[in-house]
Amino acid sequence: MDKGLSAKPRKRPHAEAHAQYLKLPSSSRANHYSDTSVKTVQIGLKQLANTQLDQINVSLAGTVIAILPLVILLIVFQKQLVRSLTAGAVK
């Protein structure tokens, strides 16, 4: 076995990632967390619910749109999911 091609585990991967982050210009680091155009689905739904207090149907439509891709993935990969869960349950 060639020892030159084997991968060695890093002792502190989090420290290396932090060092790479600090090498970024400070302007891009500041915009990384304050960018309001990129939000998670949960934050978007919460803001939608806060702005449309009297229109519950808008919030429910947003929730259905957010859940739809997850349901489609579950249906498509249902057989693999059940197979992996049952294989992991065997002692």
Query: Tell me: the pLDDT tens digits for 28-73?
Result: 555 555 566 777 888 888 888 787 677 888 888 888 999 999 999 9
**Does the residue 22 lie in any domain?**
no
**Does the residue 28 lie in any domain?**
no
pTM of the model: 0.49
**Does the residue 31 lie in any domain?**
no
**Does the residue 79 lie in any domain?**
yes
**Does the residue 33 lie in any domain?**
no
**Does the residue 82 lie in any domain?**
yes
Q: In angstroms, rounded to a whole number, what is the distance separating the alpha carbons of residues 77 and 74?
A: 5
Question: Residue 7: pLDDT band by 50, 70, 90 thresholds?
Answer: low
Tokens representing 86 are: 């049952």
Tokens representing 76 are: 């498509």
**Does the residue 76 lie in any domain?**
yes
Domain range spanning residue 73?
Answer: 40-91
Task: Tell me what pLDDT residue 30 has.
Answer: 53
Question: Residue 78: pLDDT band by 50, 70, 90 thresholds?
Answer: very high
CA angle 34, 60, 66 (to 5 degrees): 55
**Does the residue 46 lie in any domain?**
yes
Task: Tell me what pLDDT residue 9 has.
Answer: 65
Residue 6 has pLDDT above 70, yes or no: no
Q: How many domains is the chain partitioned into structurally? A: 1
